[in-house]
Structure 1
Amino acid sequence: MSKSGKALGLPIVNVRAAGIDIGARIQVAAVPPELSDDPVRTFGSFTADIEQMANWLTSIGITTVAMESTGVYWVPVYEILEAHGLTVVLANARDCKAVPGRKSDVNDAQWLQRLHACGLLRASFHPAPDIAALRAYTRIRERHLEYAAAHMQHMQKALTLMNLQLHHVLSDISGVTGLKIIRAIVSGERDPDVLASMRDVRCRESLQTIRAALVGNYQPEHVFALAQALALFDSYQDRIGDCDRQIENSLRALNADRPKPQTPLRAARIRTKQANAPKFDVRALLYQLTGTDLTLIHGLGPSLALSLVAECGTNLGKWPSEKHFASWLCLSPGCKISGGKVLSARTRRGSSRLTSQLRLAATNVGRTETALGAFYRRLAARVGKAKAVTATARKLAILFYRAMRFGMQYQDPGVDQYEQRYRERVVRQLERRAARFGFSLQPAAGGVS
């Protein structure tokens, strides 16, 4: 209390702010008491109810609304409120936990309104509508790929039950040779010589080995299971093709008002195409959209570059620095300090799709003869592979941020230059430590340069 008897509190930043508690059946909206005689109202979850809520908020002069990211129930509310001209802040649930005490939808809505009015809520990243559509298509495609992979495992199980050791003689049964043989088996072919003759010329195993692996115990129920899995696999492949067409159309729509780059696109570093890559020229469309060739960064193939653009958009200015971007991806060390003592530096856990893909790319780039590969191997030998994967994934994220934000054209310095720079850095550290104790380092005669 102040000397005059008035209650003191946090300063109000957003005067015309509202808070909405999102639910599956009802939405509870809370506004400042001075703007309405009924500051808390409950609305249904039907579209007409949400429209009514948006009209009520705009009629009393509300300009900004805060809500929690509750499941997927917030999506239609977010889009309808945004269409009515309101600034919507989608807050993370961990940032707006209610104070201890009784909990209800009304209390949650009022607490959100209070936090937002005082400017204590940070808006979660939400892309523009055109990028959001591209993101939805890519996520649907990724889900179809997961389902198709599950049915491929069902096919492999059916083959094993028939003692057809196809997965032992072929590196991938979903390749040209594997699918051709599986389709022939489903069609009724049982002759191992005929099945082995479908071998592709690129197969490493000999014709005799493949023939021996195709002598099996063809039981009707196992053949039926194989046919069912193959039909579902083919169905998902068709759906993936539909997603590819939608993604291509979205990229072309984004490039409609963008001029074509004056510098022609360089030849691809890797000629081989990924099995699950989109069936159109992703590199050319992304090059026109972003103005830079993201695939020059080792580890970022066309598919991963497409996922990064679909999830983050083309304007990375919403993250003030590369450190903010890495922290958003949960690839930065934690910072829990109390009393000057570091309590924990563990990386915060997250469920981001990009983080998982960047970690997988970091593992793959660790096997390459590049500067990033040398960095991964050096760190893995010192602190372990788990931390090396996180650190390398963070480097990939920072390189992507610099390319998108500042137009950086990445050039790999090479393993030798990286090792030389690392050696010079270690020598400087040793010289400083020796000088601290009153010594000086001298190069040995005939030493290793």
Structure 2
Amino acid sequence: MYPRVNIACGLDIHKSSISAAVYRSDGSFTTHRFSTLLDGLTALREWVVENRCERVLMEATGVFWIPPYTALESSVEVYVVNPLSIKYLPGRKTDTLDAVWLAEIALNGMFKASYIPPRDVREFRELTRTHRKLVEERTAHKNRIHKILERSGIRLSGVLSDIFGKSGLLVITGLIEGKPIEQILATLHDSRILKKRDAIERAICGDLGENEVFIIQQSLESIKHVNAQIAQYEERILRTLARDEESLQIVTSVPGIGFKVGAVILAEIGNIRQFDGPKNLVSWAGLAPTVYESAGKTAHGHITKRGSKYLRTVLIETAQVIANGKPNRLKQFFLRIR
């Protein structure tokens, strides 16, 4: 809930157009349609300022709300709401009527705004989220190679802990180049791997087809390319975190949290002071249990899964690492409440 204002603006945003409405306290309103191109966004900002709007409200529609928000945030108070939290009146529905309804809601302060971090935090989030997507892409290529090898009867993953390590790549490269097993084994020099020489020889007796060799070659090239990109992203993330080393040190002091996970946590949370307490943060991350209450009876279900999926994912992964890792206070707490 927000205080009532005298003039407010509502935006119904689409991919190529924006329906805007200015609603006044006397019940009158003005509407206009703008393009989502740069000149349209500039005209929208000027229109909002000319009409002396005190507040602008828009729905979070995919990524289409970001350009208008960025264009307006320096000129007026801008709020973004989840469409699920807006209840529309029954009857005829048009883009213009939707904009008028949003403007009226904004005028009366009858909405629950989503948290939109400052621009620098949004840009840092883009870095960490893209980094995670690249890691997932690399994993997909590795899984594809695993699948082809297993399907061809090459059980290399049962002998080597990491087939994409130095020795594993030597074996895979030798296989796709059609080298004899003896020649492949002759390229291995790690004493720990040489102890498994007989097991490796039995594991790589399968046969790869021409197309399977091609797919593995392409996947290895893709992994090499993605690895270079990941390294560049990590370097840039590290430079960004250098501005706030204290926060990174605090986050990484928790067992199971390293540089990469810590970067995601800091990027997703932003300013920790936006939350009134720990429970608010847990709820925002979607880790709070669902509550069902009826006739005086209360039941708790699974976690809500609302909020930042990126934060929720890394926190769950960290909890799993702690639960399966070396003994520490957090693991003892987990074992006690399990």
Question: What TM-score do the two structures reach when normalised by structure 2?
Answer: 0.90
Q: How does 1:45-444 map to 2 (within 5 A)?
A: 45-83=36-74, 85-186=75-176, 188=177, 190-197=179-186, 198=188, 200-203=190-193, 206-252=196-242, 255=243, 288-290=245-247, 292-313=249-270, 315-342=271-298, 346-350=302-306, 352-367=309-324, 368-380=326-338
1:22 aligned partner? 13
**Equivalent residues of 1:189, 1:195 under 8 A apart:** no
Tell me which protein shows more strand as a share of its residues. Answer: 2
- Residue-by-residue CA offset, 1:342-386 (whole Å, 9 max, x unaligned): 265543233611112211211221124223212222333xxxxxx
Distance across 2 between alignment mates of 1:38 and 1:119: 17
> What is the rounded CA distance, in whole Å, between the counterparts of 1:375 and 1:158 in structure 2?
42
Relative to structure 2, which stretch is displaced further, 296-305 or 29-38? 29-38
Q: Please identify the structure whose Cα radius of gyration is greater.
A: 1
| Cα RMSD after superposing both structures | 2.5
Write the letter of the residue equivalent to 1:91. V
CA-to-partner distance for each residue in 1:279-312, whole Å, 9 max, x for gaps?
xxxxxxx6x2427432221232222111101111
Q: CA distance change for structure 1 residues 325 and 333 in 2, over 3 Å: closer, same or farther? A: same
**Counterparts of 1:229 and 1:35, CA distance in 2:** 64
Name whichever of 324-333 and 291-300 sits farther off: 291-300
Distance 1:363-1:64 versus aligned 2 partners, 3 A rule:
same
Give, in angstroms, the shift of residue 189 of structure 1.
Answer: 5.1
CA contact (8 A) 1:69 1:90 kept: yes
Alpha-carbon distance in 1 for matches of 2:189, 2:164 = 13
CA distance in 1, matches of 2:182, 2:106: 73
**% identical equivalent positions:** 27
> What does the per-residue CA deviation read over 1:172-220, in whole Å, with 9 as the maximum and x for residues that have no partner?
222222223223434x251222323426344496111112222332432
Q: Is the 8 A contact 2:6 2:107 kept in 1?
A: yes
CA contact (8 A) 1:21 1:27 kept: yes
- What TM-score results when the alignment is normalised by the length of structure 1? 0.69
Encode CA deviations 1:19-45: one digit per residue, 9 max, x unaligned: 111111211111114699861111122
> Which runs of no fewer than 5 residues in structure 1 stay unpaired?
1-9, 256-285, 381-449
Higher relative contact order (CA 8 A, sep 6+): 2
Q: Is the 8 A contact 1:199 1:207 kept in 2?
A: no
Q: Is the 8 A contact 2:7 2:54 kept in 1?
A: yes
Unpaired runs of at least 5, structure 2? none
Q: Deviation of residue 103 (structure 1)?
A: 2.2
- Cα distance in 2 for residues equivalent to 1:31 and 1:355: 38
Q: Contact (CA 8 Å) 2:23, 2:29: kept in 1 or not?
A: no
Deviations 1:312-363 (A, max 9, x none): 12x2111111111111111223344344332655432336111122112112
Cα distance in structure 2, aligned partners of 1:185 and 1:73 = 48
